[in-house]
A and B are shown apart, each in its own frame.
Chain A
Amino acid sequence: AQKITQTQPGMFVQEKEAVTLDCTYDTSDQSYGLFWYKQPSSGEMIFLIYQGSYDEQNATEGRYSLNFQKARKSANLVISASQLGDSAMYFCAMREGWAGTASKLTFGTGTRLQVTL
Chain B
Amino acid sequence: DAGVTQSPTHLIKTRGQQVTLRCSPKSGHDTVSWYQQALGQGPQFIFQYYEEEERQRGNFPDRFSGHQFPNYSSELNVNALLLGDSALYLCASSRRGSSNSPLHFGNGTRLTVT
**Interfacial residues, chain A to chain B (CB-CB below 8 A):** 4, 33, 35, 37, 42-47, 50, 52, 91, 93, 95, 98-110
CB-contacts of B59-114 with A (<8 A): 88, 90, 92, 94-108, 110
Q: List 23 A-B contacts (CB under 8 A).
A: A33-B99, A33-B100, A35-B102, A37-B105, A43-B90, A43-B107, A44-B105, A44-B107, A45-B103, A47-B102, A47-B103, A47-B104, A91-B42, A93-B42, A101-B48, A101-B96, A101-B97, A102-B101, A102-B102, A104-B33, A105-B43, A105-B103, A109-B40
Interface residue from A47, A93, A102, A106 paired with B99 (Cβ < 8 Å): A102
Question: Residues of B at under 8 Å CB distance from A?
Answer: 31, 33, 40-45, 48, 50, 56, 58, 88, 90, 92, 94-108, 110
Q: Is the CB of A100 within 8 A of B99?
A: yes
Q: Once the chains are docked, how many angstroms separate the CA of A42 from the CA of B44?
A: 18
B71 to chain A, nearest CB (A): 18
Note all chain A residues with C-beta closer than 8 A to B101: 102
Q: Which residues of A contact B48 (CB under 8 A)?
A: 101, 103-104
The one of A4, A42, A106, A109 in contact with B107, judged by C-beta atoms closer than 8 angstroms, is: A42
A52 and B100 in contact, given A42-B107, A43-B110, A103-B94 (Cβ under 8 angstroms): yes
A103 touches B90 (CB 8 A): no
A109 to B37, CA, bound (A): 10
Inter-chain pairs besides A101-B94, A103-B31, A106-B45, 5 sampled, C-beta below 8 Å? A42-B107, A43-B108, A45-B92, A91-B43, A109-B40
A75 CB to nearest chain B CB (Å): 14
| A95 CA to B31 CA, complexed, in Å | 15
CB distance from B114 to the nearest CB of A (A): 20
Given contacts A100-B96, A101-B94, A105-B45, contact A50 B108 (CB under 8 A): no
B42 near A107 with CB under 8 A, answer: yes
Q: Is the CB of B99 within 8 A of A98?
A: yes
